[in-house]
A and B are shown apart, each in its own frame.
Chain A
Amino acid sequence: MSQSTDLSGAAGSAGDPAEKKLGEPGGGLGPVQTDAATVTLGSVGLASPEPAGGVPANCKVFDAHHPPQEKLINDCVHCGFCLPTCPTYLLWRQEMDSPRGRIYLMKMGLEGEVERMDQTYVQHFDQCLGCMACVSACPSGVKYDRLIESTRAQVERHYPRPLADRLFRWLIFFLFPHPARLRAMLLPMWLYRRSGLRWLLRRTGLLRLLPEPLQAMEALLPDFSLKSMFGGLPMRVKPQGTPRLKVGLILGCVQRVFFDDVNLATARVLAAEGCEVVIPRGQGCCGALGMHAGREKEALDLARQMIRVFEREQVDVIAVNAAGCGSNLKDYGELLADDPLYAERARQFSAKCKDVTVVLAGLEPRAQRHPVPLRVAYHDSCHLQHAMGIRSEPRKLLAGIPNLEIQEIAEAAICCGSAGIYNLVQPGPAAELGERKARNIAATKAELVVSGNPGCLLQLNASLNRLGHEIPTMHTIQLLDASISGSPPAWQVNGGRRRRGKG
């Protein structure tokens, strides 16, 4: 079942990578396999021999392909320092929904103390946000991110999800990692908002008849203009002044479709700072959503494609403006370590990837910043602060904007609840966490919230809206763009676009 999805022929065409057909591994309804034996034999599409990894003899729940590593699990000394940093522990105060408890469950699984993957066992992994706040807090350096990813992959392979859940997940992964499909949804979504249908559904309460996950999706619906449906960036943007860096830009999926402005702003700012911006065609999804949800094969295929697309350009650095994507891109080296064709290429690729704020913070500011007299709250997205340890660079950039008052949000290290697809598949806790974050934001009396991740921005919008706070949100780079261009920022508030009046 080894299958190569070489898409080099896709060079030059804007839009999607090859679409997966139903029934194929990584693209289809239902789990790839539920039979452990079948999975061990190359069905994950690797051209290489089976990597080392095995499970203890009496393990009944994990297969031998990248199980949660015993070595990493043994790094945990059960000290509990992770508990107060874990959003689900803060919500429920149960050991099983803390990093320490989850690691313990993995250990139990490996040691044969768990009979089978049932709902009771799996739900705690599903409920983990993957925010990695625990990784930041752990004094022993436990690589929980690796552990949860390998466990989630095992769950996807072995846990028979209920039909409704499988359908919903199928829908998510049918859409989100495919920008063309998302773009096709734009018109219906726009009509839904602007025709008054949404208002009607809400007013009559019919909306609440929808299954909860779909309601969650609906709540997150951002606003956008018709223009963005036809959006697109040029392939190359010339730098202002003497060029000092050749920067490739990752477009993202949700970002490029719903937050086209952010990509435009990113390109403008980079150009203003003397960077030649290259936006290669044929970029698909970077695979983050899939990787973090345990859909290993499709994520790796997308990774390979991304690498190929950027290899065509000789860029110095690859800028990412979506935190969730950024951390996944940086992991390519490790994710493809087993693949002899891609291992080295992935490492080189990952070494070039940097969050756009890091790229900019590393350059001496060149373009003039105009004052932006606003009180702004900076929201640390988890993949920036925990996965990549990026906390100071965005703040440094914001500090460079004159008259900007930056507020710190209480409980900054706690996730807003977006967490990839979490707010779609776990709407309950996601909403609680979103509201908690919204209350903390409101307490800062900020007039604007900025963040470096589209998922967070969608979640913050929905949460602030639900609590009735009219605080607009925007991407960090958009604020910087506004300051450089000197024009007042356009932002999203309550899902509606408004342009801030002059003066």
Chain B
Amino acid sequence: MDRRILDAFRAVLSSSGLITEASELKTYECDGLTNFRVVPAAVLLPESSEQVQAVVRICHQHKIPFVARGSGTGLSGGALPVANGVVLSLARMSRTLEVDIPNQRVTVEPGAINAFITQQVAPYGYFYAPDPSSQQVCSIGGNVAENSGGAHCLKYGFTTTHVLGMDVVLPDGELVHLGSSTLDSPGYDLAGVFVGSEGTLGVATRIILRIVKRPEVITTLLAAFNSTNEAGEAVSDVIASGVLPAAIEMMDNLAIQAAEASVHAGYPNCGGLLLVELDGTATEVETLMHQVNDICTRRGAWEIRLAHSEAERIVVWKGRKAAFAAMGRISPNYIVQDGVVPRTALPQIMNEIARLSRESGLRVANVFHAGDGNLHPLVLYDRRITGQEHLAEQVAGDILRLCIKAGGSITGEHGVGEEKKMFMGEMFAEPDLDTMQLVRCAFDPEHLANPGKVFPRLRLCAEKTGPYTPHPLELAGVAEFF
């Protein structure tokens, strides 16, 4: 990168806020998804909203693409750097700015860690509801970019339900406030559009979150079934009976094995493990838990355990939360897939996945949010065996296609990022993608914010005044003008 540009960055940031050494840059070449790697030209670590604005302005002036990064735990390559672009790490902006308990709002910087929010408000009896499994390390800014969910979003909703407003630095360096700490602010719901936009519309530098009162009682039920199909039937019955649990999770035998090897949660060795969490007032939960217990028994559960205390619940959830990373113990490599199908299509999808596994010879472990049909098949393989990585990617892709065919989605929580952008064209028609592009053009007409993610093809913004000049990417044959 041009020395003068680096000097410009250096002038804005603190002394350790600019990384340019080759070996150090390489450590930023990927996020939680290691299949894609690109070394950035520089990594910037701003420490305030003003610094973010200043560096974005420099990027805008010199047309340098930038990729915002939180803790780098994303699973779709959303924080994958762009060649000749910079990585904007928000990790140093991790403060909690305001805690307003009576109004149930917390304001934080984007690098603040998800679980830390709950830690701070727990003494008052509150928690921050979206709880991705990586919550001990993932950042709120990252959650906003991906509209992260977690096991409890069945009842409580995702990040977008809990973000009220944000300060956002637009790709031209302007600082705007989207949404508000009050509800229903007049105008377009730009905060709602920004959440889940995967860093392609700007950089959030201050985020107002909604916190939720901790229920009086939380009870988790663990039920062992002979197969995931049977467990799935139980789930359907639970939903049909009018009960809305806080979370319903399912794991198949392979996933259970990995979890046991890693954290020794003591799960029963069964074909399909169901975790149902109910919360509410004591009376409510007690009655509902009996109902759920009966349903599970009727559907063939051969072991049922109830966890009442916080300590017991932590043990029950430990295995589920560590499931992905624990795969490392039973397989040298694996691909985590993230797809959604309508819940009623789950049994059929499970059969299809089993078929794909048989046909390819690769094991597939299954962990999923049974309540909302969000699957996480983990395709296990060994990179050292020639051709297996490619085969695993194929299987993972086929699973996504099954999801689309069943009327679901290519991503429930991990985002499209780099990994799934080629599937966007299968899930949406061209006009749909063109329309989404209009949103992008309203925020980032020059495509500087995380370019190349989410959308399969670069679409330039139609609005151009003055004589037509081809964009460098067009000349390179990489883009078309619409």
- Residues on A lying within 8 angstroms of B by beta carbon are 74-81, 83-84, 92-96, 101, 104-105, 108, 113-114, 120-121, 137-141
Chain B positions 135-177 with a Cβ under 8 Å from a chain A Cβ: 136-138
Please, how many residues of chain B have a CB less than 8 angstroms from a CB on the other chain? 37
Given known contacts A83-B137, A139-B324, A139-B325, what 12 new A-B pairs fall within 8 Å (CB)? A77-B325, A77-B334, A78-B34, A79-B325, A93-B45, A93-B89, A96-B19, A104-B26, A104-B27, A105-B27, A137-B136, A140-B262
- A75–B262 Cα gap in the complex (Å)? 12
Chain A residues whose C-beta falls within 8 Å of the C-beta of B92 in the assembled complex: 93
State whether A108 and B23 are in contact (beta carbons under 8 Å apart), knowing that A93-B94, A140-B325, A140-B326 are contacts in the complex. yes
- A100–B121 Cα gap in the complex (Å)? 29
Contact call B328/A141, Cβ cutoff below 8 A: yes
- A80–B114 Cα gap in the complex (Å)? 14
Contact call A108/B26, Cβ cutoff below 8 A: yes
Residue of A nearest to B16 (CB): A92
Chain B residues whose C-beta falls within 8 Å of the C-beta of A79 in the assembled complex: 32, 73, 134, 324-325
- A101–B43 Cα gap in the complex (Å)? 14
Contact call A84/B89, Cβ cutoff below 8 A: no
Chain B residues whose C-beta falls within 8 Å of the C-beta of A77 in the assembled complex: 34, 325, 327-328, 334
Asked whether any CB of chain A lies closer than 8 Å to the CB of B21, the reply is yes
Chain B residues whose C-beta falls within 8 Å of the C-beta of A95 in the assembled complex: 24, 27-28, 72, 89
Residue of B nearest to A90 (CB): B94
Asked whether any CB of chain A lies closer than 8 Å to the CB of B224, the reply is no
Contact with A along B307-326 (1 / 0, CB 8 A): 00000000000000010111
Chain B positions 89-118 with a Cβ under 8 Å from a chain A Cβ: 89, 91-92, 94, 111, 113
Chain B positions 261-319 with a Cβ under 8 Å from a chain A Cβ: 262-263
- A92–B325 Cα gap in the complex (Å)? 25
Contact call A94/B45, Cβ cutoff below 8 A: yes
Chain B residues whose C-beta falls within 8 Å of the C-beta of A94 in the assembled complex: 16, 19, 24, 45, 89, 91
Give which listed residue, A81, A92, A105, contacts B23 with CB less than 8 A. A105
Chain A residues whose C-beta falls within 8 Å of the C-beta of B72 in the assembled complex: 80, 95
Q: Taking the nearest CB of chain B, how far is it from the CB of A62, in angstroms?
A: 14
Contact call B34/A75, Cβ cutoff below 8 A: no
Residue of B nearest to A138 (CB): B325
Asked whether any CB of chain A lies closer than 8 Å to the CB of B425, the reply is no
- A277–B326 Cα gap in the complex (Å)? 43
State whether A120 and B23 are in contact (beta carbons under 8 Å apart), knowing that A74-B332, A95-B72 are contacts in the complex. yes
Asked whether any CB of chain A lies closer than 8 Å to the CB of B86, the reply is no
Asked whether any CB of chain A lies closer than 8 Å to the CB of B71, the reply is yes
Chain A residues whose C-beta falls within 8 Å of the C-beta of B23 in the assembled complex: 96, 105, 108, 113-114, 120-121
7 CB contacts below 8 A, A to B, read: A78-B32, A83-B71, A93-B45, A95-B24, A105-B27, A140-B262, A140-B326
State whether A139 and B45 are in contact (beta carbons under 8 Å apart), knowing that A74-B332, A75-B328, A93-B94 are contacts in the complex. no
Asked whether any CB of chain A lies closer than 8 Å to the CB of B358, the reply is no
Chain A residues whose C-beta falls within 8 Å of the C-beta of B238 in the assembled complex: none
Asked whether any CB of chain A lies closer than 8 Å to the CB of B68, the reply is no
